[in-house]
Amino acid sequence: MAGTARCEITPREPMWLAGYASRRRPAQGTLHPLWIRVLALRDARGHTGIVVSSDTLGIPQSIWQNVCRGVKQEFGLSADQIMLHSSHTHTGPVLRGALYDIYPLDEQQIEKIERYSEWLEDRIVATVGQALSRLQPARVTAGEGKATFAVNRRNNPEAEVVQRRAEGTLQGPTDHTVPVLAVWSADGKLLAAVFTYACHNTCLSLDEWSGDYAGFAQTELENVHPDAVAMFCMGCGGDQNPLPRRTVERAHGYGLRLAAAVERVLAGPMRELDADLRTELEMITLNLGTPPTMERLESLASGASYRSRWAARLLDDLRAGRPLERTVPYPLQAWRLGRNQLWFCMGGEVVVDYALGFRKRFGDSVWVSAYCNDVMAYIPSLRILDEDRPPRNGYEGNTSMMVYGRGAERWADDVEQRISEGAERLVRRLTADGS
């Protein structure tokens, strides 16, 4: 059985836009509306799974937990049964407690953010209820397409991308796969297309609300299939950008290319999935690296940048006798749809190495989405942590930890190992009866 629902979440008052530290004013209007979309699936044994997509930068932990609490209370579902995806649009609203160090927020702005975040939690729970109330017999199919606009941003200067692409000399790993989960009604109408792409949703940096290229892709698919919801999930695109970028025409163009990739998959042939759903979630404890010293924090604390605000906040903690955080809880989720389709959903801004590694380890048809449930930091691989040691101090493996307000400037070196071991455990549990 499957049911769908969607709800517009464009803020009704001027609020700060999420994702860039360089903005100087709140949103000035709407390019296209923001949405949450919900797909509810129920298998032959009555086990239910809920997929939520959202045109947001990243769902912070407090919103994820409040939504899980609401969904448990209202519908008796546990956290492993709901996936809360964010599209990582940088033209969506700032959410509660997320990246506050990087924006010049005053109390009035923070109050608006709190109010909006609470409203968003209610809307998500209510929209889940709507999708559950519309369950109807359905078929579920799976397939993969391809779109090639994602570029490894660590290895290709933005200004050289057009030339390098023409010459075929783009560098660094990418993941151009477009996994598609399609849900069809008994009479063959498309009810939902859930698709993943590993590429920062950052074509646009204007001061207007939009879902960026992913928003254009969803709108295009829903225009072509008026009975369907089109749901974008970010893949492991932590180190991938849509390049070249920065114009509405390009965002629209990438959206159309992604929608076309999904359409090609929908045209078939696709793999038919049995009505057998398994859902698992594990909270993994990730270790932070060496904590910053007082001297280091003092040297950073003067000034008005996000680094200064971060350092000043940590200094306050230390001086008040509050220890800096040493570990971070990390949600790793995996579903099995039918006998064979594995779908990992990872928290955080995960770099592309994880998707490539999981596919090598668990098989080519494995899907990996990221930016899911809690977006608390970048999740670099060991390769990227190694590359980003001083003096390079790259963004994904190093300086982004300050953007996210974490208690250290780096993860410990075992971050990839701990996540990979968690993935092994989840897969063992999903296949525990040997089937």
- Could you tell me the smallest distance in angstroms from the CB atom of residue 70 to Zn ion? 27
Report residue 407 as tokens. 């208690």
Instruction: Decide if 131 contacts 5 (C-beta within 8 A).
Output: yes
219: Cα separation from own chain's centroid: 19
Size of the site for Zn ion (CB under 5 A): 1
Q: Residue 90 CB, nearest distance to Zn ion (Å)?
A: 8
Instruction: Give the nearest distance from C-beta 197 to Zn ion in angstroms.
Output: 14
Site string for Zn ion, 342-361 (x = CB under 5 A): -------x------------
d(CA 277, CA 5): 20
Beta carbon nearer to Zn ion, 218 or 241: 241
Q: Residue 200 corresponds to which tokens in the numbers above?
A: 């920062």
For Zn ion, give the closer residue by CB, 343 or 378: 378
Closer residue to Zn ion, CB minimum distance, 80 or 396: 396
Cβ count near 207 (within 10 Å): 17
| Strand, coil or helix: 420 | helix
Task: Considering the complex, state which of residue 212 and residue 349 has its C-beta at the smaller distance from Zn ion.
Answer: 349
Residues 33-72 that bind Zn ion (CB under 5 A): none
Omega prior to 14 cis, within 30 of 0: no
Q: Quick one: which of 257, 294, 81 has its CA closest to 176? A: 257
Residues between 373 and 412 with contacts to Zn ion, criterion CB under 5 A: none
Between CA 383 and CA 393, with CA 389 as vertex, the angle to 5 degrees is: 110
To Zn ion, the closest distance from the beta carbon of 57 in angstroms equals: 8
Q: Which is nearer to Zn ion, 222 or 349 (CB)?
A: 349
Given the complex with Zn ion, which of 183 and 351 has the nearer CB atom?
Answer: 351
Q: Measured from the CB of residue 349, what is the shortest distance to Zn ion in angstroms? A: 5
CB of 378 to Zn ion, least distance (A): 7
Given the complex with Zn ion, which of 80 and 349 has the nearer CB atom?
A: 349
Residue type, 120: L
Q: Which helix (H) or strand (E) holds 346?
A: strand 341-346
Footprint (CB under 5 A) of Zn ion, residues 199-258:
none
Shortest Cβ distance from residue 297 to Zn ion (Å)?
25
244 preceded by cis ω (within 30°)?
A: yes
- Packing angle of the helix pair 212-224, 248-266 (nearest 10 deg): 50
Smallest distance, Å, CB 14 to Zn ion?
Answer: 24
User: Of the two residues 55 and 349, which places its CB atom closer to Zn ion in the complex?
Assistant: 349
The 160-189 site mask, x for binding Zn ion (CB under 5 A), equals ------------------------------
CB-CB contact of 225 with 195 (8 Å): no
**How near is the Cβ of 392 to Zn ion at its closest, in Å?**
19
Distance (Å, rounded) from C-alpha 365 to C-alpha 312? 46
Binding mask 126-155 for Zn ion (x = CB under 5 A): ------------------------------
Residue 60 C-beta: closest distance to Zn ion, Å: 14
User: Phi first, then psi: what are they for 316, rounded to 5°?
Assistant: -55, -45
The residue among 349 and 416 lying less far from Zn ion, judged by its C-beta, is 349
**Distance between CA atoms of residues 230 and 218, nearest Å:** 5
Report the residue number, 228 or 368, with the smaller CB distance to Zn ion.
368
One symbol per residue from 299 to 338: x for binding Zn ion (CB under 5 A), - otherwise; what is it? ----------------------------------------
The beta strand positions in 106-227, using DSSP E, are: 138-146, 150-152, 177-185, 190-197
Residue closer to Zn ion by CB (options 236, 273) is: 236
Print the SS3 string covering 36-82. EEEEEEECCCCCEEEEEEECCCCCCHHHHHHHHHHHHHHHCCCHHHE
Give the separation between CA 29 and CA 353, rounded to whole angstroms: 37
Of all residues in this chain, which one has the CB nearest to Zn ion in the complex? 349
Cβ at position 395, least distance to Zn ion in Å: 9
The alpha-helical segments, DSSP class H, found in 81-198 are: 107-133, 161-167
User: Which residues bind to Zn ion, rule: CB under 5 A?
Assistant: 349
